[in-house]
Each structure stands twice: as C-alpha cells, then as structure tokens.
Structure 1
C-alpha cells in the first residue's frame, strides 16, 4: 500500500482515519467507512482470516474445512502437516504448505499481533463442518431446478458434510445432484460415469 502503511496483514487493523485521509482518493467518508469495515472484520470467523493470509494452496473452502476441524488459528499453527492432511479433501500438499508457513518466526509474530489487536482467531460459523460423513472430501455439482430447498441451502448443507461444491462437471466430480430439467451437466456426468443423485436421494441422506 502507498506510504508504506501496510507490511503485514495485521497492519490493516492498525490503520486510522488520519492514515487513510492522507491517501489519494480517500476523503473523510471513505476513510471512515473503511476503518469501520476493518474494525468489524475483527469478529469474522477464523476461516476468513486463514484464507486472507495467502498461504499457498489454501482457498476459501479449504480454509473453512481446516478451521472447522481445528477450531482456532493457534491450533492450526500447532498442527503437523500429517494432522492437517488427514482431513478428508485436504492432503499432504496443503498440509505441508500450512505447516511450513506457521513454522516461521514471522507467522508466530503475526499470531501475537492478532491476539494483541483483538482479532478473533476462533471458528464461529453456525453450522460445523463434519469430516466423517459419506460426503466428506467429495466434489459435488448441483444442476437443474430444485424443489425441496434453494441452491444456497443445499450448498450450505453439503459443505457442512465436508463436501466441496463446484460449478462444472469434470472427471474429478464425484456426485452430480440433478433437479428437474437438468441439461448438459447431467449429460456430461452420464458420459463420464459420475454418480448421479436425485433430490429424493439427497433428502434420504440428510435424514440419516
């Protein structure tokens, strides 16, 4: 950032109105809005913080799975590569990336900064992610018109079961959930021999 205001992620939480009003294109209103947004973000669930660290191979969905499993950023920082890799859908590549990141003195200093600045480092999401279900580690695609629930509701439930919901069908897809009037995604899944579930099959799984 200009004026060397931010060197580490934790520096964002130190920004003041005076810092921002001195920057180009930042008036009083814009500066105030940003400072408030940063202050509010201190209470976010930790998966967003983990994702924001920019650790290699750690996207938003991976960050949520890992945060749900370990419960806090300090616990993740203390976990071994093997412990992280044991989470369904994670693996050793990601496990090593995270373990190597938190093994550095810079990362440990960052954790101390977060604590001193009052940044939440715990997993707060209302629906915990389960890692020992039939859907754990599965890549799932939803297609067609849904009648029993909305697409966001279905996505939230699938992710709570440890599945990863993606938009396109590929050889890596494990399950296609097909609603009414499913089109090209259903055809492609059939061609690839991918397991196909109806909404009724999904509901039966939800009730188990």
Structure 2
C-alpha cells in the first residue's frame, strides 16, 4: 500500500465533512445543472475516477448515467457503497457500481468520464490519459475538475504527495498538452472558483476541464 492510499483510507471516515466532498441539496442541484451543460448526453456508461465516497458518482446516477466509480482506497469505496445503499428507493439502489481499482487497470468501454482533484495524485497523467483513451468511445467527454492550491498543500498532504509532479496542482496548459498528446485534442477549461453554490468558495483556484477528441 502506498502512502497516498493509506492517506485516503485514513481520511475515509470523515471525508464527507470537508467542503465539496458532501453536497447539500442546493449544491447538488447546482452541480447537476452545470454538468448537464457540459456533457452532450446524460446516458450511457460513465467512469468516475478517484470517486472517493461516491458523492459525485451518485449525482451522475441521478442525471441518468450508469456509473462505475473506482478508487484505490478500500475505505473510500466502503463508504461509497454504504452511501449508495442508503439511497435505495422503491426502484432499488442507484445505477452505480463501486470498485477498489486503479483506473489504469480498467476494462470495458465508457461513454463519459469524470474526475475531481485526482490528476495531481497521478505520477504519470499521460499514461492514465492513454488508458482512458483506450476505454472510451470516440464521442466520450471527460470532465476533470482540478485545483491549484493557494500555496503548497501542507500537513499530511505534504507528507504523502510532495514527491508527485502534480503536487500543488497542474497548470491548465500542462494538462492540455498531456490530453492532446494522447488523442484528446479538444480541451477547454474555465474557473469555477468562488462559486459557493458548488462548495468551492475558498482561496484556491478550481478549474473545470472539458476534454474530448
């Protein structure tokens, strides 16, 4: 187990207490409205990379996707599965499957991809992008939300992540070049910082990337 996986396992129990990792009904509706605008369709199979406790996976299920959330942390996935069961209704549980899995080992093919604050944890985002390219349809859209921190992350983040090249956040131009090098030649991005309805009202820079071929 790497230090980073141990870090997320340690944080799993209280992860939803931190901003953006659990959403109020109002915040969930704001996210759904924004995401409905950036995905061309809201059906088919969606891969949520680094899904954590499943907050956004469940949101995508509400939008109409069949969701596969993957994370390397067993603790996070356990919490995600508990959360999904708690959302079961008359029609059964949401259309979400959770797996303890490194996204670089995925199989199958997906119509859409989502990731949030995940790329900074990857030693080689180019390799991951190549894998995503191999396992997505030609029309797939990847929405990646990434943060550039106001100052370097500290505390246990520093201890577990400072050896990573993306520690502190990737510059958008760097990620655009990575995406393009692996076939995702159409990348746009916009800041979603200081949008309290999305639980991003802080001093950090939050960027939403829309990536496609």
TM over 0.5: no
Q: TM-score, normalised by structure 2?
A: 0.26
Q: TM-score, normalised by structure 1?
A: 0.27
Q: Which has the higher strand share?
A: 2
Structure of higher CA gyration radius: 1
Task: Using CA pairs under 8 Å that are at least 6 residues apart, name the structure with larger relative contact order, 1 or 2.
Answer: 2
